[in-house]
Amino acid sequence: KNQVEQSPQSLIILEGKNCTLQCNYTVSPFSNLRWYKQDTGRGPVSLTIMTFSENTKSNGRYTATLDADTKQSSLHITASQLSDSASYICVVSLTGANNLFFGTGTRLTVIP
Amino acid sequence: NAGVMQNPRHLVRRRGQEARLRCSPMKGHSHVYWYRQLPEEGLKFMVYLQKENIIDESGMPKERFSAEFPKEGPSILRIQQVVRGDSAAYFCASSPPSRGFYEQYFGPGTRLTVT
């Protein structure tokens, strides 16, 4: 069964601190993995996309890593800001398929 | 270049009524996807359309739900005889016509409440 699991479900950190979010997937055959940020009441916005051959990709203060062998990915946020408060969603797509498999997200709250 | 637009943003329907959700893709995008997000759950794929064609509707319930993407105008997700379980956020995404993997750009969603 194709599944995407994320941990933790929720996380509260102080402004300026770093954090790491985890994603494990069982989707196969794997094509690519994406991290999205979803603000409350808004649609998801893409942060990174990685294929199976990529180990890491950065987008500003966001750095995603991928281990295709263990089927794990992480999203590291550096020097968090209040505007980072959102849900972070791990999304995996199948080779040759059109649909995406979404995790339930990690709800991050950054407090001053 | 305006992003993906969805309307209405909020829709309230009584049980048994019809709900029509609209999605205008980004300019130049000819692929549209519909997703549903139930409370406390991740987004779930429903249907993938190109202009005038349904490519993949494997995630859409067989009854009461239909989708179209006409040659002209927005894509429409139609839910007939709504039930309380249809209450959810419905997101539309679009992507440009290209081979290989593609970026999907999401709209702000339509929140459907069935009373």
CB–CB contact B45 A45 (8 Å):
no
Give pLDDT, residue B98.
Answer: 67
Q: Which residues from chain B sit within 8 angstroms of residue A51, using beta carbons?
A: 101
d(CA B80, CA A89): 30
Give pLDDT, residue A31.
Answer: 82
| Whether pLDDT at B87 is above 80 | yes
CB–CB contact B42 A105 (8 Å):
yes
Instruction: List strand residue ranges (DSSP E) for chain B, in order.
Output: 5-7, 10-13, 19-24, 31-37, 43-50, 53-56, 65-68, 75-79, 88-95, 105-106, 110-114
Q: Which two tokens stand for residue A65?
A: 């890593």
| Whether pLDDT at A68 is above 70 | yes
Looking at CA atoms only, how far is residue A50 from chain B in angstroms? Answer: 10
**Could you identify the residue written with the tokens 């494990």?**
A24
What's the pLDDT tens digit per position in A19-48?
Answer: 999 999 998 888 889 999 999 888 999 999
Give pLDDT, residue A97.
Answer: 66
Task: Using a pLDDT cut of 90, give the percent of chain B over it.
Answer: 70
- Kindly state the average pLDDT of the residues B23-30: 92
Give pLDDT, residue B101.
Answer: 57
